[in-house]
């Protein structure tokens, strides 16, 4: 069966994580993604954090599946000529170089438009065009600090904290993918391409939307009732770090289960959903709390929410996180075990759904990766191995019309 993006040709001028995460997603959905890499070196992640000597690192293989690899030195005349041809024949070019690198290479947006007015140029930068930090190079944690995630993550008595989730990198790549698909849809109507720009700061901030909500509520009221600081602690004039508090109107916390003394992940997340108060009381063996006015409204519970969590922890003390969730799910209580990466890797449901996928790679053998989190009724996403450096160079050059002799000459000149 043909894939939805079959026929869409993408020049993948990306590296590290933000750009590659975007183009990998588009490759899964059928686009022909040609990863352009510097001869001899390639994407820096090929060699970063290797676990098999001289083989591509997982950092690379897990972000570049289903792509083709073309090595090209775009600072040589021949390399520029090949890139020019590629631009003329492609639909999308994705890049996440440092600010100005593409212009310095001679491929400014103006020049690209002249070469192919239908081209969609999709760029990731740390900060948006015109921002007072637009010249900065940016990695994941820098973006988390600039986008409001770090100042609002962690505990109130600790420093700003970054998340393990790639809010700056892969999240920005996902935003870019949405932008590219939108521009492709528009191109069907107008025939014209356009520039799609996503900054890592903006993408992080987009996920921290509720914290901007909280800043405005704090400005107006001087307190935030869902934060652990309320009502016993104090607030300053900025949104505080709320530990593991629920971000919305449902109080929640990470609670210890049996074995927490030795297992760092023997915890569950427990949510006290307002309308689920009665089932919660039943599950905990506290039916007297159901009608008790000291407990039966969210407002009444607010000043003793941590006493309630302590009580739930004592209820959890003889139950593993899995046993606890198996009981609580029967009462419709939103909760989950805190899962370790090892548990996730071995989770049969995640394997069955194609979210955790085993891939065979010619040099590193079998490894696990995260497959498409988006499921389609009419398309199975097949995750293939990432390409070796330059694996498809000759194939791509031949498709661009170069003869075997010309290709050999480019190899000799180290242009590819
Ligand atoms: N042939 C020839 N030259 C090439 C090339 C190729 N195939 N591919 C890249 N280059 C050159 C670029 O033209 C650039 O050259 P100049 O600086 O001389 O013009 C050079 O390689 C380096 O590019 P860079 O600035 O992108 O690389 P860096 O390692 O110094 O910075 C990063 C890396 C990620 C900090 C920077 O690219 C960046 O800020 N990108 C935007 C934000 C982003 O995506 N960050 C997320 C990365 S994931 O954590």
Q: Is residue 226 in some structural domain?
A: no
Report whether residue 140 contacts ligand 1, using a CB cutoff of 6 Å. Answer: yes
- The values of phi and psi at residue 286, to 5°, are -125, 60
In this structure, the residue with its CA closest to atom 17 of ligand 1 is 101
Q: Please, are residues 171 and 19 in contact by the beta-carbon 8 Å criterion?
A: no
Q: Are residues 301 and 187 in the same domain?
A: no
Q: Are residues 155 and 52 in the same domain?
A: yes
Report whether residue 139 contacts ligand 1, using a CB cutoff of 6 Å. Answer: yes
- Nearest partner of 238 among 220, 213, 218, judged by Cα: 218
Q: Are residues 194 and 258 in the same domain?
A: no
The count of structural domains within the chain is 2
Q: Is residue 234 in some structural domain?
A: no
Q: Is residue 355 in some structural domain?
A: yes
Atom nearest to 97 CA in ligand 1? 26
Annotated binding site for CoA: 15-18, 38, 72-75, 96-98, 104, 137-140
- Report which DSSP code applies to 240: P
Q: Which residues pair with 358 in a beta bridge?
A: 368
> How buried is residue 128: exposed, middle or buried, by Cβ count under 10 Å (0-12/13-18/19+)?
middle
Cα end-to-end span (Å), the chain:
34
Q: Are residues 171 and 100 in the same domain?
A: yes
Q: Is residue 243 in some structural domain?
A: no
Q: Report the separation in Å between the CA atom of 76 and the middle of ligand 1, taken as the mean of its atom positions.
A: 17
Determine the Cα–Cα distance for residues 167 and 173; give it in Å rounded to an integer.
10
Q: What is the largest CA-CA distance in the chain?
A: 86
Distant-in-sequence, close-in-space partners of 5: CB < 8 Å, separation ≥ 6:
26, 29, 30, 31
Q: Which of 24, 83, 98 to mutate to test the pocket of ligand 1 (most atoms within 8 A of CB)?
A: 98
Atom nearest to 137 CA in ligand 1? 39
Report whether residue 96 contacts ligand 1, using a CB cutoff of 6 Å. Answer: yes
Would you state the pLDDT for residue 204?
98
Q: Are residues 160 and 51 in the same domain?
A: yes
Would you state the pLDDT for residue 157?
95
Q: Are residues 120 and 91 in the same domain?
A: yes
Q: Is residue 267 in some structural domain?
A: yes
Q: Are residues 109 and 134 in the same domain?
A: yes
Percent of the chain at pLDDT > 70 equals 100
Strands (E), 74-229: 92-95, 120-125, 195-199
Would you state the pLDDT for residue 1?
67
Q: Which of 20, 45, 97 to mutate to test the pocket of ligand 1 (most atoms within 8 A of CB)?
A: 97
Atom nearest to 73 CA in ligand 1? 1
Report whether residue 414 contacts ligand 1, using a CB cutoff of 6 Å. Answer: no
* Token pair of 130 as six digits: 């015109």
Q: Are residues 304 and 199 in the same domain?
A: no
Determine the Cα–Cα distance for residues 416 and 399; give it in Å rounded to an integer.
15
Q: Please, are residues 120 and 196 in contact by the beta-carbon 8 Å criterion?
A: yes
Q: Which of 59, 101, 135 to mutate to test the pocket of ligand 1 (most atoms within 8 A of CB)?
A: 101
Three-class SS of residue 262? coil
Q: Please, are residues 107 and 87 in contact by the beta-carbon 8 Å criterion?
A: yes
Q: Are residues 272 and 407 in the same domain?
A: no
Q: Report the separation in Å between the CA atom of 196 and the middle of ligand 1, taken as the mean of its atom positions.
A: 18
Q: Is residue 4 in some structural domain?
A: no
Mean pLDDT of 279-285: 96
- Neighbouring CB atoms inside 10 A of 356's CB total 18
- Nearest partner of 128 among 147, 114, 113, judged by Cα: 147
Q: State the catalytic residues.
A: 169
Q: Are residues 279 and 390 in the same domain?
A: no
Q: Is residue 401 in some structural domain?
A: yes
- The rounded mean pLDDT for the chain is 97
Q: Report the separation in Å between the CA atom of 69 and the middle of ligand 1, taken as the mean of its atom positions.
A: 17
CATH assignment at residue 311: 3.30.1540.10
Domain that holds residue 299: 252-333
- Strand order, beta sheet including 120-125: 68-71, 32-37, 9-13, 92-95, 120-125, 195-199
Q: Report the separation in Å between the CA atom of 99 and the middle of ligand 1, taken as the mean of its atom positions.
A: 8
pLDDT tens, residue by residue, 11-65: 999 999 999 999 999 999 999 999 999 999 999 999 999 999 999 999 999 999 9
- Nearest partner of 24 among 68, 71, 67, judged by Cα: 67
Report whether residue 46 contacts ligand 1, using a CB cutoff of 6 Å. Answer: no
- pLDDT band for position 248 (cuts 50, 70, 90): confident
Determine the Cα–Cα distance for residues 139 and 124; give it in Å rounded to an integer.
11
Choosing from 299, 333, 367, the residue where a domain stops is 333
Mean pLDDT of 175-182: 98
Choosing from 304, 333, 362, the residue where a domain stops is 333
Report whether residue 74 contacts ligand 1, using a CB cutoff of 6 Å. Answer: yes
In this structure, the residue with its CA closest to atom 12 of ligand 1 is 101
Choosing from 301, 333, 365, the residue where a domain stops is 333
- pLDDT band for position 249 (cuts 50, 70, 90): confident
- Report which DSSP code applies to 268: E
Q: Are residues 268 and 198 in the same domain?
A: no
Q: Please, are residues 82 and 115 in contact by the beta-carbon 8 Å criterion?
A: no
CATH assignment at residue 143: 3.40.50.10540
Read off the pTM: 0.97
Would you state the pLDDT for residue 32?
98
Report whether residue 80 contacts ligand 1, using a CB cutoff of 6 Å. Answer: no
Q: Report the separation in Å between the CA atom of 301 and the middle of ligand 1, taken as the mean of its atom positions.
A: 53
Mean pLDDT of 104-111: 97
pLDDT tens, residue by residue, 322-353: 999 999 999 999 999 999 999 999 999 999 99
Annotated binding site: 15-18, 38, 72-75, 96-98, 104, 137-140, 248-250
Mean pLDDT of 69-94: 97
Would you state the pLDDT for residue 246?
84
Helix axes 200-207, 209-221, angle to 10 degrees: 60
Determine the Cα–Cα distance for residues 367 and 369; give it in Å rounded to an integer.
7
Report whether residue 144 contacts ligand 1, using a CB cutoff of 6 Å. Answer: no
Q: Are residues 125 and 199 in the same domain?
A: yes
- pLDDT band for position 247 (cuts 50, 70, 90): confident
Q: Is residue 242 in some structural domain?
A: no
Q: Please, are residues 395 and 389 in contact by the beta-carbon 8 Å criterion?
A: no
Report whether residue 43 contacts ligand 1, using a CB cutoff of 6 Å. Answer: no
Mean pLDDT of 255-278: 96
Report whether residue 396 contacts ligand 1, using a CB cutoff of 6 Å. Answer: no
């Amino acid at each position: 069966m043909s894939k939805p993006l079959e026929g869409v040709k993408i020049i993948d001028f990306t590296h590290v994580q933000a750009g590659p995460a975007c183009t990998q997603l588009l490759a899964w959905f059928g686009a022909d993604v040609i990863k352009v890499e510097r001869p001899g070196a390639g994407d820096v992640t090929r060699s970063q954090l290797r676990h098999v000597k001289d083989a591509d690192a997982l950092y690379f293989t897990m972000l570049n599946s289903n792509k083709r690899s073309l090595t090209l030195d775009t600072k040589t005349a021949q390399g520029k000529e090949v890139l020019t041809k590629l631009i003329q024949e492609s639909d999308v070019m994705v890049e996440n170089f440092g600010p100005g690198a593409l212009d310095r290479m001679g491929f400014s947006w103006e020049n690209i438009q002249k070469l192919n007015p239908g081209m969609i140029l999709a760029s990731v930068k740390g900060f948006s065009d015109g921002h007072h930090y637009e010249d900065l190079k940016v990695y994941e944690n820098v973006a988390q600090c600039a986008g409001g995630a770090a100042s609002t993550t962690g505990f109130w008595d600790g420093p700003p904290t970054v998340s393990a989730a790639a809010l700056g990198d892969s999240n920005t790549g996902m935003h870019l993918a949405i932008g590219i698909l939108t521009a492709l849809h528009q191109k069907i109507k107008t025939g014209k391409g356009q520039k799609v720009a996503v900054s890592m700061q903006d993408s992080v901030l987009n996920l921290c939307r509720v914290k901007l909500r909280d800043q405005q509520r704090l400005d107006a009221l001087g307190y935030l009732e869902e934060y652990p600081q309320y009502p016993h602690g104090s607030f300053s004039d900025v949104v505080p770090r709320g530990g593991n508090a629920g971000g919305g109107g449902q109080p929640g916390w990470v609670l210890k289960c049996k074995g927490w003394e030795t297992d760092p992940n023997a915890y569950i997340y427990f949510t006290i959903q307002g309308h689920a108060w009665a089932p919660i009381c039943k599950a905990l063996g506290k039916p007297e709390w159901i009608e008790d006015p000291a407990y039966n409204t969210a407002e009444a519970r607010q000043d003793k929410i941590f006493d309630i969590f302590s009580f739930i922890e004592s209820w959890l003390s003889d139950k593993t996180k899995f046993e606890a969730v198996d009981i609580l799910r029967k009462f419709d209580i939103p909760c989950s075990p805190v899962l370790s990466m090892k548990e996730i890797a071995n989770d049969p449901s995640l394997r069955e759904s194609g979210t955790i996928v085993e891939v065979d790679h010619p040099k590193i053998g079998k490894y696990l990766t995260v497959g498409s989190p988006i499921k389609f009724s009419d398309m199975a996403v097949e995750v293939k191995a990432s390409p070796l450096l330059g694996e498809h160079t000759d194939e791509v050059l031949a498709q661009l019309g170069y003869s075997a002799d010309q290709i050999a000459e480019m190899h000799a000149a180290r242009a590819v």
